[in-house]
Amino acid sequence: MSVTIGVFVGSLRRDSFCKKVAATFHSLMPEKYEMKIIDISKLQMFNQDFDEDGTTPKEWENFRKEVKELDGFLFVTPEYNRSIPPVLKNALDIASRPYGQNVWSGKPGAILSVSPGNIGGFGANHHLRQVLSFLNVYTMQQPEAYLSNIVDSLDEQGNISSDRTIKYMQEIAGAFDAWLDKFIVK
């Protein structure tokens, strides 16, 4: 049985630190998981009228179906103004609607917040936890994963090369594997 974990990256920037973290994290997870990057960049902004008027964008329908088929979630987010980026919140809203059709519900997840600053996206991490709690995503509580000063962990090619950061990410990957094992029937 293949276990597919959807990876949602909250930064759309071409050279996003979050994308680099997601790629490294993928390489640290056991092979029993398919880590699938889910593109949220093309989702039109959520407007409830579309669902109510029967004009739901095809991209929303496809996205909801894709999320529903996932076994779990990994959210890799930067911090924008002490919160999560709008593109990530938009994706969460789209797949939790229409009312009563929340496709996030009942599945395990984890958060990695990433920042070039000292606090590692603490505000974004906790705002995202608040939203995921309401959406009934069983979010891994420990270890909380804040990757601060991420620029210091990159080599000249922009890859994560810091032994300390990789070791920390290995610990998070191990904890996430154990967390997923509690929820996913093999």
Report strand pairing: 108-114 vs 33-37: unpaired
In the beta sheet, which residues pair with residue 34?
A: 4
pLDDT at 2: 84
The torsion of the CA quartet 69, 79, 22, 13, rounded to 10 degrees, works out to 100
pLDDT for the residue 55: 95
Q: What is the pLDDT of residue 130?
A: 97
How many domains does one find in the chain? 1
- In this structure, what DSSP letter does residue 32 have? T
For residue 35, the one-letter residue type is M
Predicted local distance difference test score (pLDDT) of residue 177: 97
Cβ atoms 16, 46 nearer than 8 A: no
CATH number at residue 149: 3.40.50.360
- In the numeric block, the tokens 């922009």 are attached to 158
Q: Which residue has the tokens 């996003």?
A: 16
| Boundaries of domain holding 150 | 3-183
pLDDT computed for residue 1 by the predictor: 61
Q: From residue 152, how far is each of 34, 81, 161 by CA, in Å?
A: 29, 22, 9
Written as one letter, the residue type at 137 is V
Going through 104-159 in order, the beta strands assigned E by DSSP cover 108-114, 138-139, 145-147
**Phi, psi of 160, rounded to the nearest 5 degrees:** -75, 120
Half-sphere exposure of 98 (CA within 13 A, CB side): 11
Nearest one of 9, 38, 12 to 24, comparing CA atoms = 9
pLDDT score for 185: 66
Which residues in the chain show pLDDT less than 50?
none
Q: How far apart are CA 176 and CA 112, in angstroms?
A: 11
pLDDT of residue 157: 85
Q: Supply the pTM of this predicted model.
A: 0.95
Tokens 């039109």 belong to 44
Q: Please, how many CA atoms are within 13 Å of residue 111, restricted to the half-sphere of its CB?
A: 30
pLDDT of residue 119: 83
